[in-house]
Amino acid sequence: MEKIRDRKKRGKKSSSGGTQDDVSTTSRDSNNSSNSNSNTSLPSIAASSTTSTTATTMNYTTSTAAATGNMRLPMSDKRALFQEKVRQSNEACQNADFQRAIRLYTEALDLDPANHILYSNRSAAHVKLKDFERALTDAIKARELNPKWPKVGIVMIYSFFNIFFS
């Protein structure tokens, strides 16, 4: 919440469009309760690509060895790398390749560690692999970053139940 206010004070643009699954770092306080993919009991993941997020303000202070080879990239290159990682992870989820999706979500999180949507999506991917402890950890992190994010509550309840009652 504090980072968002600081960004607004510095005059950076933000985008609030897109669906719930779009990766947008500036809509952390919005309560997007509509879900176009509500036909499953778990939050749907990877419902859309992030081609509409080019104007999204993102936190690029962290570089990752896996994604950038430990070199400093210009902001536009990092944005493109981030969007490509998210696109690939969404595609992997759609193809039920959840191991790959988790790896790619992790690489995207290295580029934007405060992105609650990525934690939520990675949490759902962990659920699909029945790794409920990691799913719960990611769901809690997503909830910390955006307490109003509606999808993460379902994953938290489902993971908690499976950890302690199955």
Amino acid at 19: T
Q: What is the pLDDT of residues 111-129, one digit of tens each?
A: 999 999 999 999 999 999 9
Q: 150 or 81: which carries more pLDDT confidence?
A: 81
Domains in the chain, start-ordered, CATH in brackets? 75-165 (1.25.40.10)
Residue 15 has pLDDT above 60, yes or no: no
Q: 149 or 106: which carries more pLDDT confidence?
A: 106
At 99, the pLDDT band (50, 70, 90 cuts) reads very high
Dihedral, CA of residue 158, residue 35, residue 99 and residue 157, to nearest 10:
-10
Distance of CA 58 to the CA centre of its chain: 12
Task: Report whether 101 contacts 93 (CB < 8 A).
Answer: yes
